Structure 1
Amino acid sequence: MIKQFLKHRWQRVIFYTVLVIAIVAILLTIATNLFVVPALQNKLKTSIRESSDSLYIVNYNDADISLLQGNITLTDATLKVDSAVYKKKKSEGTAPNNLYNVSVKQLRLTGVKGLKLYFSKKADVGKIVLNEPEIEMSYEANNPEDSASRDKRTIWQRISKSLQSVQVGEILLNNLKFKHVNYARKKPLTTVVKEVNLRAVNLLIDSATQADTSRFFYCKDLITEVSNYSGRTGNGLYTYALKNIKFSTRTARLNVQGIVFKPHNSLLFFTKTRSERFNLKLDSLNIDNFDFTNYYKYRTFSASKVTLSKGTLDVFGAPNKIPNYTRENVGSFPHMAIRKLDFGLKIDTVSIKKLHIIYSELNNDSKKKGTLVFGNTAGQMLNLTNNKAALKRNNLARVNLTTYFMDRGRLDVRFVLNLTAADASFSYKGSLGPMKLSSLNRAIMPISMVKVTSGVLKRFDFDVDANRYRAKGKMTLLYNDLNINILKLDDGRLKKKGLMSMMANAFIIERNNPDEPGKAPRSANITYVRPVSYPFFKIAWKTLFAGVKECAGVSEMDEKKANAKMSEGDLEKQKKKE
């Protein structure tokens, strides 16, 4: 039958052509398995060792290589640190800050041009897919800057003897599990992230790209996305959750959606700590021009802009806090806190949009909670940095905020913070617009045991210069028809003290400012000496409160006299009852 099929010339040509092709394919396969495959495997391992200066070792259990199809599959592949080499580099002062251990069940390479690699020493791959990889990254502050490394060669210079170039069109890491251990802290901090997808685009290592600063790890873009990330703080007091995190090295933009930071157990919180309780919800946080390279290498946070949008910050003062009146608390000053950070910080602008801020405190006398509200807060913070070079150019941070005090009166305030002054100097000025003074009752009734029964604020202006030792400034409070009640706790309820309320309205406060239309209003020039234990916002508030009292006509001497008369009145009232 074969003879009948081959009796025509064209049939014999086709048959022998196919036969030659098959024989050549078989010979190529044999040659590949005997010579090319071992060479490729050896070249892969050699290239990794050369590019990492012998720090990393690659291993895998099995390699399925098909050069004709351009596919390579590695199973149970690992990239591990050579501990002996790392120990030597550490003793020499050349060890890197970041180390990696990578394991992957299956690594698939498609579109591999094997002959090009073998004959031209150019690795050209269409796509690399890593399924269910696990990456463990550790950080230790071995070197504060690149100059600590003796080997100044780029990765291409290190591998150029074995490879002329490496090019990969796309790298996909699907369902990545990432573990990070920070050994730079007193106690190692471990973070585990699951549900991570990573995509690297157009990786190219050659003589041209070795100095290309637009690439990250030689990639045109590296896109990382994390979904449903949650965890618990190291002290166990708080839980946090992030709905989505996305970062692109090409755009240098980090976007975080759905941020929740809350106490693990609100009811038992103050049985475990004497610190304030925080509760934060934020729709989004965007970071522009995030310098990921410096953060990755040295844990230096640098960005042109950070934007916080639509959220609530709820702070509850610790009711069980034991005051230490002799302990210096200047660390609570924001600019001093920036100075003492254990990492580098450089943010040009922090933009706040529609943030609702609530501060509450429990009064032990009234057994009730007083609350301050700053609604719909928006504004900017400029030049937040501890970078030495940046501070030489500009050592002032500025904060410009607009908010609605007690959700009523518009408050515009501007802070200027000296980031380098030894006395932690700062200034603040602003104005509070019209509002009913009874809106303050939510705050002052439980805390001060005072209720405003009538009164309208027209305007409150203040301008204060301060430092860690004292505050000095001028304030003007314009208002009409002020009347208050002094309160007492009776059977769990706050009730009016009739005599004391009458005495307060008669002898302490002035009903209006100015007293009459056309008269000059009362202003207050205040000098307030800071007790060393007072934190930043307490010294700011106490200074303003001293000015408010003086504008309301309450001098220190008048207050003492009135208190004495109130005490006498209470004593007479008690005698009549007896």
Structure 2
Amino acid sequence: MKLVLKWVLIVFLILIVGVGGLVWYYGRNWKPIVETKLKEAVHKSTGGLYTLRYDDLDLNIALGNATLLNAELIPDSAVYRQQVLSKEAPNNRYHISLKSLKIRRFSLMDVLSEKRLNIKTIVFEEPSIHLISEYHSYNDTIAEHSQKTLYENVKDIVRSINVKDIKIDNVKFKYSKIAEGNTSSISLEQVNINVHDVLVDETSLADTSRLYYTKMVDVQIPHFEYNLPDGFYKASFENLRINTREQNVLMTKVFYGPKMSKSAFFKNKKRNVTMAVLAFDTLRMEHLDFRRLIDNQQTIAAKVQIKNGSVDLSADKRYPKYPVVKIGHSPHQQLMKAQKLLRLDTVLVDNVTVTYYEMSAKFGREGSISFNHAKGTLTNVTNDTTVLRKDKYMRADLIAQVMGAGRLHAKFGFDMLSKTGYHTYSGTLGAMNATAFNRILHPLLNVGIASGNIKKIAFNMEGNDRKNWGSFKFDYDNLKINLPEKENGKKSKLASFLVNQILINDSNPDANEKYHVGKINYTRVPEHTFFKTLWQSLLEGIKQCAGISPEREAKLLGTAEKVKEVSTEAKGVVKKTGKFFKGLFKKKEKTEGEGN
């Protein structure tokens, strides 16, 4: 028995020595072969666009480990320009460097016997990635001859490559975009990337569950801030999470706004443009088509959610404004003019407050109007004509609290294929105290509403580039107005009395129980924006319901002239009232953010 055990141990020792010698031999003699094949594979699989360089390759065949030290993947600019001329160049190219590339648990025998490379883990240590994006229109169409796939480039060396996990932590990432000869760049620090289940074989590229041979790419980017090239605005977020398997993008604490104070913004602009500040707790995209986004910069998603935030828009009338023709600049027309395809099935708005601020040039005070806690949906948000041929309307259905009081429910319909910008809008405003509007009236016009109960407003409108038309209903009572104070501090009691008793109806139905309905047929001023035209149209309905027809205004103008003989305080009553009503709704008109 002892003799048998002795021979077993001897054979075992011989095997260990033999295997150890074989491993030592392959480790020394296969290293240059592997190095040559590795560089050849990179060069061939990329059509000569990339070159692999490194200081050393540590190869341990027994453990199935390999380490590249100070490795660098370098794009050849001369080759890239040749590919551009032959219309074969990709939109994106990369320059990657890292302290080490660690490949763990691969089997050389699988490569030798079956030409299959299986790797458990690849770890990138201290990587630096520079992504250079240069758009080429030919990549949007099907080429006459398709480029070779990655598998076609490596199949002569191996039949398949499978990597279970790739870890890339604390990446320094730089993105450079080249457009019309100009280059803009964004840099990121501490990016974490995990890639799971990479498979390169003859079937993987056609596998719809994979994105470029991968089952999942998970990216996490911590706090980011970027100063926009215009010198006025900055953008930032607290965290960005991208997951290709879930097809989701999540951004938290998103901010877009000026780098300076409001006063400094307008002082530097020297113009009365709209200053915008956007802040959202959550911005999420679901079922995003990453392949179309990466290849063609096309944004296609099933759902976008904007949650818990604010949109603040400001204007300052102490500075000049240079009006331009706004025909053809409606929201849906602007979307159709976008160069890149956008298709969002649904946009969910949840608890977003929109506020418009305006600084008065005359009184030096700032007034505001707000639409609080807005929520609702936008559907069929797209410029994709193939989709629009089936349903040509983009729709919006939104609810908000006007001045935190009255419930506004508004619906919009935009004919995306209309050459004349056809659209519809309808809505209702619930009961609220009219004095809530003093927050904007007094600072800007130095007038106010003494009392007034708005019972309900309902409108049903249509419009295009040139006109708005439809019906308007305004139910209210006990409407009383205070006109501006005189320089001596006394109120224009007589002027206020004339306005309240003669010029306007203090209720609808009026004192004669006649119910006034606004029949709107408003011709657009070409320099007015879409939303300004919308509110000017509704103003016509307000005036008609309040009994202020053009004929009555003309008649009352003569009445005011007669009253002037009795009291000089009546002078200008009609003019002041006209300004009041225009001011009441004019301040809403600029909540769209178009100030240029």
TM (normalized to structure 1)? 0.92
CA distance in 1, matches of 2:215, 2:144: 26
1:367 aligns with 2:379: no
The one-letter amino acid paired with 2:57 is A
1:183 aligns with 2:178: yes
Could you list the structure 1 runs, at least 4 aligned residues long, displaced by more than 4 angstroms after superposition: 7-13, 488-491, 560-576
The one-letter amino acid paired with 1:271 is K
Alignment-derived partner of residue 310 in structure 1: 308
Task: Please report how far the alpha carbon of residue 450 of structure 1 lies from its aligned counterpart in structure 2 after TM superposition.
Answer: 2.7
1:185 and 1:373, CA in 2 relative to 1: closer, same or farther beyond 3 A? farther
Question: Is the 8 Å Cα contact of residues 495 and 569 (structure 2) preserved in structure 1?
Answer: no
Alignment-derived partner of residue 259 in structure 2: 264
1:366 and 1:556, CA in 2 relative to 1: closer, same or farther beyond 3 A? farther
The one-letter amino acid paired with 1:278 is A
1:317-328 equivalences in 2 (<5 Å): 317-319=315-317, 322-325=320-323, 327-328=324-325
CA distance in 1, matches of 2:140, 2:568: 75
65, 81, 99: which one pairs with 1:87? Answer: 81
Question: Is the 8 Å Cα contact of residues 503 and 562 (structure 1) preserved in structure 2?
Answer: no
497, 506, 512: which one pairs with 1:511? Answer: 506
Task: Please report how far the alpha carbon of residue 477 of structure 1 lies from its aligned counterpart in structure 2 after TM superposition.
Answer: 0.4
Alignment-derived partner of residue 559 in structure 1: 553
CA distance in 2, matches of 1:568, 1:270: 45
Q: Relative to structure 2, which stretch is displaced further, 177-186 or 300-309?
A: 177-186
Q: What do residues 56-103 of structure 1 show as CA deviations (whole Å, max 9, x unaligned)?
A: 221111111111111111111111212222111111112111111111
CA distance in 1, matches of 2:33, 2:109: 11
Alignment-derived partner of residue 337 in structure 1: 334
The one-letter amino acid paired with 2:90 is P
CA distance in 2, matches of 1:300, 1:528: 38
1:23-38 equivalences in 2 (<5 Å): 23-34=18-29, 36-38=30-32
Q: Relative to structure 2, which stretch is displaced further, 282-291 or 153-162?
A: 153-162
CA distance in 2, matches of 1:301, 1:292: 8
The one-letter amino acid paired with 2:252 is Q
CA distance in 1, matches of 2:564, 2:296: 66
CA distance in 2, matches of 1:185, 1:557: 58
108, 133, 139: which one pairs with 2:133? Answer: 139
Give the number of equivalent residue pairs.
Answer: 565
Q: What do residues 297-338 of structure 1 show as CA deviations (whole Å, max 9, x unaligned)?
A: 11111111101111111111243553345x311354111110
Task: Please report how far the alpha carbon of residue 354 of structure 1 lies from its aligned counterpart in structure 2 after TM superposition.
Answer: 0.7
Task: Please report how far the alpha carbon of residue 18 of structure 1 lies from its aligned counterpart in structure 2 after TM superposition.
Answer: 2.3
CA distance in 1, matches of 2:62, 2:248: 41
Alignment-derived partner of residue 67 in structure 2: 73
- Aligned residue for 1:111, secondary structure, equals strand
The one-letter amino acid paired with 1:298 is N
Q: What do residues 323-357 of structure 1 show as CA deviations (whole Å, max 9, x unaligned)?
A: 345x3113541111101223211111101011111
Alignment-derived partner of residue 3 in structure 1: none
195, 202, 210: which one pairs with 2:190? Answer: 195
Question: Is the 8 Å Cα contact of residues 93 and 149 (structure 1) preserved in structure 2?
Answer: no
Alignment-derived partner of residue 221 in structure 1: 216
1:101 and 1:488, CA in 2 relative to 1: closer, same or farther beyond 3 A? farther
The one-letter amino acid paired with 1:513 is N
Alignment-derived partner of residue 238 in structure 2: 243
- Aligned residue for 1:217, secondary structure, equals coil
CA distance in 2, matches of 1:346, 1:415: 18
- Aligned residue for 2:13, secondary structure, equals helix
Task: Please report how far the alpha carbon of residue 571 of structure 1 lies from its aligned counterpart in structure 2 after TM superposition.
Answer: 8.4
**Unpaired runs of 5+ in structure 2?**
571-596
Alignment-derived partner of residue 276 in structure 2: 278
1:242 and 1:572, CA in 2 relative to 1: closer, same or farther beyond 3 A? same
1:71-470 equivalences in 2 (<5 Å): 71-142=65-136, 143-148=138-143, 150-184=145-179, 187-266=182-261, 267-273=263-269, 274=271, 275-319=273-317, 322-325=320-323, 327-330=324-327, 332-470=329-467
1:342 and 1:108, CA in 2 relative to 1: closer, same or farther beyond 3 A? same
CA distance in 2, matches of 1:60, 1:489: 84
Question: Is the 8 Å Cα contact of residues 277 and 318 (structure 1) preserved in structure 2?
Answer: no
CA distance in 2, matches of 1:389, 1:42: 50
Task: Please report how far the alpha carbon of residue 150 of structure 1 lies from its aligned counterpart in structure 2 after TM superposition.
Answer: 2.8
CA distance in 1, matches of 2:142, 2:5: 72
Question: Is the 8 Å Cα contact of residues 168 and 194 (structure 2) preserved in structure 1?
Answer: yes
CA distance in 1, matches of 2:348, 2:4: 82
**Unpaired runs of 5+ in structure 1?**
1-6
Question: Is the 8 Å Cα contact of residues 88 and 147 (structure 2) preserved in structure 1?
Answer: no
- RMSD of aligned Cα (Å): 2.4
CA distance in 2, matches of 1:69, 1:495: 96
CA distance in 1, matches of 2:491, 2:403: 23
Question: Is the 8 Å Cα contact of residues 94 and 149 (structure 1) preserved in structure 2?
Answer: no
CA distance in 1, matches of 2:438, 2:334: 33
CA distance in 2, matches of 1:490, 1:302: 60
The one-letter amino acid paired with 2:245 is R
- Aligned residue for 2:276, secondary structure, equals strand
Question: Is the 8 Å Cα contact of residues 360 and 369 (structure 1) preserved in structure 2?
Answer: yes
Q: Relative to structure 2, which stretch is displaced further, 560-569 or 391-400?
A: 560-569
The one-letter amino acid paired with 1:260 is F
The one-letter amino acid paired with 2:40 is T
Alignment-derived partner of residue 4 in structure 1: none
CA distance in 1, matches of 2:316, 2:99: 50
CA distance in 2, matches of 1:146, 1:125: 36
Alignment-derived partner of residue 541 in structure 1: 535
1:331 and 1:284, CA in 2 relative to 1: closer, same or farther beyond 3 A? farther
Alignment-derived partner of residue 469 in structure 2: 472
The one-letter amino acid paired with 2:443 is P
CA distance in 1, matches of 2:181, 2:554: 52
Question: Is the 8 Å Cα contact of residues 336 and 419 (structure 1) preserved in structure 2?
Answer: yes
Task: Please report how far the alpha carbon of residue 33 of structure 1 lies from its aligned counterpart in structure 2 after TM superposition.
Answer: 1.7
- Aligned residue for 1:487, secondary structure, equals coil
Q: Percent identity?
A: 27
Question: Is the 8 Å Cα contact of residues 358 and 368 (structure 2) preserved in structure 1?
Answer: yes
1:495-510 equivalences in 2 (<5 Å): 496-510=491-505
- Aligned residue for 1:476, secondary structure, equals strand
Task: Please report how far the alpha carbon of residue 516 of structure 1 lies from its aligned counterpart in structure 2 after TM superposition.
Answer: 4.8
